[in-house]
Amino acid sequence: MLSELSSNINLAKLNYQRGHYQDACDNSVRICTESEAIGDLQNWLYGIRFLIQASSELGKLDHFKKHFNKLLTYEKENPDSEIHGRILHNIGLWRMAQGENVLAKDYFVQALDECTSAQDLETVARLLQELAMVTMKANPIEALKYLDKALLLTQELKLEEIHTSCLVVKSHVFLDEKRADDALDAIWKAYEKAQQNSLHYLIVYILVQMAAVYEAQGKRNEAAIYRSLAMKGMDGELSARLRSVKAQLAKENQVSPEADLSIDSTNFKVKSGSKGEVDFKNQHILFDLLKLFAQNQGSRFTKSYLVEKIWGYAYDPAVHDNIIYVSIKRLRTLLEPDPNTPSYILRDRKGYYLPTNITVKLME
């Protein structure tokens, strides 16, 4: 019996990590049945946790209700047990799966206190992540504090799976807070960790988040690339959650992307995908400069050419270098998603240019 129990525990974990959620559910049910038969409450709780998580992915929560009633019974029967915190943790997980975040938080907070006292540090790490998940919409600052604690603890304990999941959640919090650069940094760290530790079930969600972050930065080409990669990773049988994600990605890929730059020559207006509409009526030099780049995408323009073409003077480095520098900087500030890391107006040793991967709509 014990060897079968151990085998099912390993299989549940392996199937969950591979994204085989129905198999993970089946393994978890066997764990619960076998553990209950020998009075092993600790492993029963382990099976319950996997059952909740796998059931959530499958969108099949109804069949878990009978186990939930047992959880409530065990909570009343074991108030002073060292594993009471784990019981509370599982009740909180079920509440979270039901979308009852306020109730879930109450259970998680109680569980955190008890698991900390019992030195159940792996469960503490999970609870910190889950507390962040149920508070991130209402209180993102509090959520980030939970995540920072979880990341420190998981790094110390080498809990790579939880550490990676925390980075994914942190990226979501940053993106909600319009901190796209921080969101990108967190999600790339998560991607590296997931690759290193073969966390296949996380990689698809990470790629989806990468696409969302690049979209927020106005980098539509990168966003499209990572959406496509995410969809390629969703081959085969999918969970309900992944089917929903895939449908949304397909919808986004079918939408014709708006041009990165729409230039209206009649009204001297430019619409940037990241900054919105900018009025150039009193900035004709900047407008002419941008239009030159847009009409000759990929072509490099030297400083001497720009001065003669746009300003109409013979080029004098002592006079004009600073004028060009200030003008380019101003254009980037007005239009670029991130002026410090330009993606529209670039420069190499041959001169300034607008790269060919930027989509431009010219309206004469």
Residues of the chain with pLDDT under 70: 1-2, 63, 235-243, 245-247, 249-258, 274, 364
SS3 for the chain is CHHHHHHHHHHHHHHHHCCCHHHHHHHHHHHHHHHHHCCCHHHHHHHHHHHHHHHHHHCCCHHHHHHHHHHHHHHHHCCCCCCHHHHHHHHHHHHHHCCCHHHHHHHHHHHHHHHHHCCCHHHHHHHHHHHHHHHCCCCHHHHHHHHHHHHHHHHHHCCHHHHHHHHHHHHHHHHHCCCHHHHHHHHHHHHHHHHHCCCHHHHHHHHHHHHHHHHHCCCHHHHHHHHHHHHHCCCCCCCHHHHHHHHHHHHHHHCCCCCCEEEECCCCEEEECCCEEEECCCCHHHHHHHHHHHHCCCCCECHHHHHHHHHCCCCCHHHHHHHHHHHHHHHHHHHCCCCCCCCCCEEECCEEECCCCCCEEEEC
Model pLDDT, residue 201? 81
Enter the pTM of the model: 0.69
Model pLDDT, residue 3? 72
Model pLDDT, residue 256? 45
Domains of the chain: 2-192 (1.25.40.10), 261-363 (1.10.10.10)
The pLDDT tens digits for 348-360 are 999 999 988 788 8
